[in-house]
Amino acid sequence: MKEINLVIPENFAVDEAAEFREKVNHLIIEGEKNFKLDFKNCTFIDSTGLGVLVSIYKKCKELNGSFHIYGVNNPKVMKIFKLTRLDNVLQIEK
């Protein structure tokens, strides 16, 4: 199983999230369905960024693909995942 590794931008908000969504949607149209998202550089995520992640997660699940998040080393970003309880839905590797 081939996984596409994508690095999340430092500021995963409106503009960056929209660009990221387009990029991933294009990959899905090309037949990709397994993604690993690297959060090592991410220091901020807003509701738009969270919405993009949930959208990609749902598409991957529909296609029987995989969706993993790793490298969340910023406590503020992890706090957002915990506050929204997305840490219970999305697979976040420590």
Any idea what the CATH number is for the domain that residue 36 is in? 3.30.750.24
Residue 72 in this model has a pLDDT that exceeds 80: yes
Structural domain of 76: 4-92
pLDDT classification of 18: cutoffs 50, 70, 90 = very high
Into how many domains does the chain fold? 1
How far from 67 is each of 13, 15, 75, CA to CA, in Å? Answer: 20, 22, 21
Q: Chain-wide mean pLDDT for the chain?
A: 96
Amino acid identity, residue 46? D
- How much of the chain exceeds pLDDT 90, in percent? 96
Q: How much is the pTM?
A: 0.93
Measure the CA–CA gap between 48 and 25, rounded to whole angstroms: 16
Please tell me the predicted confidence (pLDDT) of residue 94: 72
How would residue 25 be classed by pLDDT, with cut points 50, 70 and 90? very high
